[in-house]
Amino acid sequence: MNQNSAYDYFYKHQYQNALNIFINEKEYYHAGLCSLLLKDTKNAEKFWRMKKNVCPASDFGLCVLGMINLKTDKKPSFFQTRAQLEVYINLFIENNLTEWAENLISCSDFLFFSNPESYKFIARALYANGYFQLAINFCKKSLNYMYSDPEALLIMSQCYYLLKDNGEALHLVNKVLDMVPEYFPAMVFKKIIKEEIEKKYNK
């Protein structure tokens, strides 16, 4: 019950309340994450380095502590980057920790060597938070290396759609469907774009 309450507090951004419960429950990774979001980097590091803390996610947390200070001496693993990079970017943006989000994103070239999809993960987080032009830029960087990635193309298409460029959105979603004709999210999105274009012509 206490643990559920801690997660409830966490998702309501009531990090101090969540922190107190996580400490009592010996959930040291989440205690460190709450500390970080309370801008207490010293205690975040303390919790993540505790011998009693067996959560592997803490290792990526320690990498993030370096990157938000523009230090890239600790390299995350392929799977850590895949699982957690977007989570931290989203949390920093949601909690107005803009400088930390910017610093983490600025380490994208470093993260690329941990996981070549890092540019796309950053693009997804930026898209989810309404930074559509920046998301497009990172999709383009991703496609320079992974030129046949339909998801990156679809993210770009969605961004152009939200930037009111239906022509480019349609062009990109058609490229996705040329690659993967049965890619259902792209099929659905193409229908949305075409309906929007038809509405404009029928006005």
CATH label of the domain that carries residue 155 = 1.25.40
pLDDT at 189: 97
Question: Are 124 and 159 in the same domain?
Answer: no
pLDDT at 54: 87
List the Cα angle 130/134/139 in 5-degree steps: 110
Question: Are 14 and 68 in the same domain?
Answer: no
Question: Are 66 and 4 in the same domain?
Answer: no
How many domains would you assign to the chain?
Answer: 3
Q: Which residue stretches of the chain have pLDDT < 70? A: 1, 203
Name the residue among 97, 55, 36, 50 with its Cα closest to residue 19. Answer: 36
Residue 17 falls inside a structural domain: yes
pLDDT at 200: 81
What are the pLDDT digits (tens) for 108-117?
999 999 999 9
pLDDT at 199: 85
**End of a domain among 9, 24, 53?**
53
Residue 139 falls inside a structural domain: no
Model pTM?
0.93
51 phi and psi angles, rounded to 5 deg: -65, -30
What are the pLDDT digits (tens) for 157-181?
999 999 999 999 999 999 999 999 9
Question: Are 127 and 87 in the same domain?
Answer: yes
Contacts 24+ apart (CB under 8 A), 126-135: 126/89, 127/155, 127/158, 127/159, 128/86, 128/90, 129/89, 129/90, 129/93, 129/94, 132/159, 132/160, 132/162, 132/163, 133/159, 133/163, 135/159
pLDDT at 104: 98
